Amino acid sequence: MRNPIADKVKDIQPSGIRKFFDIVSEMDDVVSLGVGEPDFDTPWHIRDEGIYSLEKGRTFYTSNSGLRELRVEICKYLKRRCHVEYNPDKETLITVGGSEAIDLAMRVMLNPGDEVLIPQPSFVSYLPCAVLADGVPKIIELKAENEFRLTKEELLEAITDKTKLLVLPFPNNPTGAVMRREDLEAIAEVIIEKDIFVLSDEIYSELTYDVEHVSIASLPGMKERTITMNGFSKAYAMTGWRLGYACGPQEIIHQMTKIHQFAIMCAPTNSQYAAVEALRNGDADVLEMRNAYNGRRRYLMHAFKEMGLPCFEPFGAFYVFPCIKEFGMTSEEFAEKLLAEERVAVVPGSAFGACGEGYLRISYAYSLEDLRIALERLRRFVKRLKAI
């Protein structure tokens, strides 16, 4: 029989820590710090709207680009929170999670051989999406001494004649790093001068602490070369609703909508109705969750300091990224040992790119009670290692 699998697909490497995940899922009594989604339930009034939409029999497709009502609310929201104005009819597409927007943007923008710059450590989807879109991923290794922010120099060094697109994943999963306004201004200059585009993944935009989130599209000259993608998963604790969106230049969004129409049809209708409620009346919920995350973030930073585990202070998302290089183990070895000896699950930094080696991603999307237990075990573990 002929090989049913396309070479392009076969060559994509599965996530290197699949094995580790399998071990974790088979163990009982594991305290996990490995989750990449909020611990909060979706606020009740939002769930209620979802239920209501079902009761009312709103069980049909919406338009391909999504409910107009929701697109209007998204544009109002982006103007209010991110200071960028988009047209709800021509510059907005509602997608199945932010992930679909990443996939669509790559497929729409890349010709075979076009290079995509992907700063790492970062979310695992960018690279395979670039490859599937016939692009050539080029990794920029972010550095701990820059607190994992992308610098102008790093960007300049990575750009070639073939560079078309830069992925900008901030606030960052897994490092928690955020780009300040001045950081963005510095790279925007390069982006405009070199005539490349930006896919700005701002899914964690509502989760920044003590600092303001800045959308790169709000900088002069950047809106016309940026696709801003965001969604409801992290801000409103709506991961399972699978709802995100992309906003950007009309010609790009138009083409993304075309593929979305053929591949997906439309995002889930009842999720869209729930999302309208989230944007209209969800500010207080976001604030409450942000405050809770911020407290836990401080709590974790404090605990690491006490343990003597070096960690830069992250101001975004819900992760901290401590360094474990001093123990002479790889991230994966450390994580496996921690799991075996103390039954605490964390994600090795290397899962997010080679330059994440020597770090751990620790999530604080957990209640304080859970964090307390997990940190106590981690403390014990680190103490033992340090005594050797």
Q: For another protein, which is the closer residue by CB, 88 or 231?
A: 231
Q: Is 295 in the site for another protein (CB under 8 A)?
A: yes
Shortest distance (Å) from residue 256 CB to another protein: 24
Residue 312 contacts residue 70 (beta carbons within 8 Å): no
Shortest distance (Å) from residue 21 CB to another protein: 5
> What does residue 168 show for φ and ψ, rounded to 5 degrees?
-120, 95
Q: Is 236 in the site for another protein (CB under 8 A)?
A: no
Q: In the structure encoding, which two tokens stand for residue 159, read together?
A: 């750009």
Pick the stretch among 20-28, 151-159, 247-255, 309-317 that binds another protein (CB under 8 A). 20-28
Using CA atoms, how far apart are residues 119 and 169, in angstroms rounded to an integer? Answer: 8
Q: Single out the residue of 51, 124, 132, 136 in contact with another protein (rule: CB under 8 A).
A: 124
Q: Is 35 in the site for another protein (CB under 8 A)?
A: yes
Shortest distance (Å) from residue 180 CB to another protein: 19
Residue 339 contacts residue 27 (beta carbons within 8 Å): yes
Q: In the structure encoding, which two tokens stand for residue 43, read together?
A: 């606020």
Task: Identify the helix (H) or strand (E) that includes residue 246.
Answer: strand 244-247
Task: Let me know if 101 is exposed, middle or buried by CB neighbors in 10 A (0-12, 13-18, 19+).
Answer: buried
Nearest to 190 by CA among 215, 224, 166: 166
Pick the stretch among 33-41, 76-84, 141-149, 181-189 that binds another protein (CB under 8 A). 33-41
Q: For another protein, which is the closer residue by CB, 21 or 327?
A: 21
Q: Single out the residue of 299, 325, 381, 385 in contact with another protein (rule: CB under 8 A).
A: 299
Pick the stretch among 26-34, 61-69, 73-81, 102-110 that binds another protein (CB under 8 A). 26-34
Q: Single out the residue of 12, 15, 354, 383 in contact with another protein (rule: CB under 8 A).
A: 15
The amino acid at residue 66 is G
Q: Is 39 in the site for another protein (CB under 8 A)?
A: yes
Q: Is 298 in the site for another protein (CB under 8 A)?
A: yes
Kindly give, in sequence order, each residue whose CB lies less than 8 Å from that of residue 40, ignoring residues fewer than 6 positions away.
237, 289, 292
Nearest to 179 by CA among 160, 154, 197, 161: 154
Q: Is 291 in the site for another protein (CB under 8 A)?
A: yes
Q: Single out the residue of 11, 25, 55, 212 in contact with another protein (rule: CB under 8 A).
A: 25
The amino acid at residue 9 is V
Shortest distance (Å) from residue 298 CB to another protein: 5
Q: For residues 59-98, which are near another protein according to CB under 8 A?
A: none
Contacts with another protein by CB under 8 A: the residue count is 28
Shortest distance (Å) from residue 8 CB to another protein: 22
Shortest distance (Å) from residue 24 CB to another protein: 5
Pick the stretch among 32-40, 52-60, 273-281, 323-331 that binds another protein (CB under 8 A). 32-40
Cβ atoms < 10 Å from Cβ of 337? 15
Nearest to 34 by CA among 324, 349, 296: 349
Mind giving me the DSSP string for 135-169?
A: -EEEEEE--GGGTTPPPHHHHHHH--TTEEEEEE-
Query: For residue 363, is it left (φ>0), alpha (ψ between -120 and 50) or beta?
Result: beta
Q: For another protein, which is the closer residue by CB, 30 or 329?
A: 30
Q: Is 123 in the site for another protein (CB under 8 A)?
A: yes
Binding site residues, another protein, CB under 8 A: 15, 20-21, 24-25, 30, 32, 34-37, 39, 123-124, 173, 291, 294-296, 298-299, 302, 345, 347, 351-352, 368, 370
